[in-house]
Structure 1
Amino acid sequence: MSKSQDKMISKYMSYLRVNLIISAYNQVPLDWKETQTNLTYCKMYFIEQGEGVVYIDNIAYYPKPGDMMFIPEGCKHGYSTISPKTYVKHWCHFNAYIGSIPISDFLNIPYIKSIKNPHKIISIFEDLTTYYNSDNPFSPLNAQATLMQLLSTYFSDICKKDISLKTQMTDTKLNLLLDFIEKNLHNKITIDELADYMNLHPNYLIRLFTSTFGLSPIEYINRLRIERAKELLTINNESIKLISELVGFSTPYYFSLVFKKQTGLSPKQYRQLIVSSYKK
């Protein structure tokens, strides 16, 4: 994988959001069978025992004990038993989006992998299922964090060369555009300016950028500005007005509006929360 692709994938991962639908552990029954249908969410399996067949886009896979599977949203998917020794497996269903677009629309991810450290995967799955079944009001947060850990562990087990980008915007010029945005966050950045930089029509740039990142250029810029503002609110005592200027917002009011929309807190509330956490 090139450095350019590394950077793009890193950008995508920073915007990944997940939502757990179900997590469980069981031995599948002998009648475990489903004809291929279009999957509307992602699945992950970890096989502990047994044998069976899993279909993805008309190709048959035969995961064995110690194998993990990632089955992406949007594929044609089915499964079946093939002997009395049915699968004993940890499994979960979930959504995984970059912006508002499924992760599988951005990345080619291997469907099956022999796991180097199965005990770690089992432990993560056990935690995930515990959080899924818990009545604790904070369990959904724990489940989300654990699901991210599960995905991270799976991706880390895969050779970098086996993960690739699907998007058409993978060239060096796009990375130059991202660098341009990051270096000019403190300035006013317009769509026309970005389009001129890329030598593209503004409307085409918006469509292309959004299809790549799941965010419009302005949404992307505001995300970066808020992340930088959070850093500044944490490390210094400058006024909200000055910080809004340093990260490129036209007015403190608009800065506060965008900040609260993204974090649920005003800049002042966020700073107070950080300060109070340091005192504990």
Structure 2
Amino acid sequence: MEYVNFSTPPFPHFVVAGNALYRPGDIHGKRSNIGVFDLIFIEYGELYITDGDKTYHLKENDILILKPDSTHFGHKRVSMKTKFNWLHFRTFGDYHYSNEFHLMKEERKLLNSYSDRKNLVTLPLYKKLTHLESGEFSTCFTKLISANIDKYQQKETHEQALLSPLECQEVFLRVLSFIQVFQPQRNSNELLATNIMEYIMSNYHTHLTLESIANYFNFHPVHIIRCMKKEFGITPNKALTQIRIENAKKLLITSTLSINKISDFVGFTTPSYFNKIFKEYTGLTPKEYRNHKL
């Protein structure tokens, strides 16, 4: 199975949709680098499509998403009357293809942040709907159709969309929801632990304490510790120390800052305490570590 993964926002957006009626003996045309994703849904009949190095024989209730940056074509003529719906969509955001579906840790922003929360929308390039799904899917899809290709009548028609652009986008996202592979949702404690870890990673150089972290997130310190240990297997204080040590190690081998400066820069209260903790974690003093790595 192959998937396309969209980093959002921005979300993929609707361009245009239509349907096509093929006679026995008709074949899908060849197109290269069309610049939009082309979603095909077979209502009845069949369709032979090659997209890049993948070959498909699509039948009733099959969905296929063709890539915007490859060449696709019909590699065989259909043997029966065939009707399919097609939909073009694109994104101005990042996307990538993968051959396996991996559970990915969503990028979570801090609870008090006003920044966008980045997520991943994963769509399989091929999917077969159940009969129950296909009925609902087709109902949504039909609302978007404004173009028609009829091989029997040898004509193409284009009508004005019945829905507003905003309504089209709303229905389009509903269409994608039938296909999307959903990431399992994290519970509130898991999300809290992730936000705490991100907060520590962003503020390790300041005077952080368990109490200040608990006050920032407005939770009891015991609850903070419990969430962190369950999600990451580590207490907030241990996480803070490890993050400080890892950043100190980078500075020791990539900068000419003195050890005292590095100690202060990564948040240790005194150089002597920094030396003690650094040796506990690495087996070397900061000076020995720098000499060993350079």
TM-score bracket, normalised by the shorter chain, equals: 0.3 to 0.5
TM-score by length of 2: 0.37
Larger Rg: 2
More helix by share: 1
